[in-house]
Structure 1
Amino acid sequence: MNGDEQIMRGRVYGADHDDPDPGPRPGREYAELVGGPLDGLLLDVTGWSAARRGEGAALATEIGRYGPGGRAVYGPTAADPRKWAWRGDIR
Structure 2
Amino acid sequence: MDRDEELLRGRVYGTDHDDPNPGPRPGREYAELVGGPLDGLLLDITGWSAQETAAGAALPTELGRFGAGGRATYAPAAGTAGRWAWTGDIA
Superposed pair shares fold, TM > 0.5: yes
Cα distance in 2 for partners of 1:50, 1:59 equals 18
Q: In the alignment, which residue of structure 1 is the partner of 2:71?
A: 71
TM-score normalized by the length of structure 1: 0.98
- Trace 1:1-91 onto structure 2 (pairs within 5 A): 1-91=1-91
Cα distance in 1 for partners of 2:35, 2:63 equals 13
- Local SS of the residue matching 1:32: strand
Could you list the runs of 4 or more consecutive aligned residues of structure 1 that deviate by over 3 angstroms after TM superposition? Answer: none
Structure 2: stretches of 5+ with no match in the other structure: none
- Local SS of the residue matching 1:31: strand
TM-score normalized by the length of structure 2: 0.98
CA distances 1:17-76 after superposition (whole Å, capped 9, x unpaired): 000110000000000000000000000000000110000000000110001100000000
Structure 1: stretches of 5+ with no match in the other structure: none
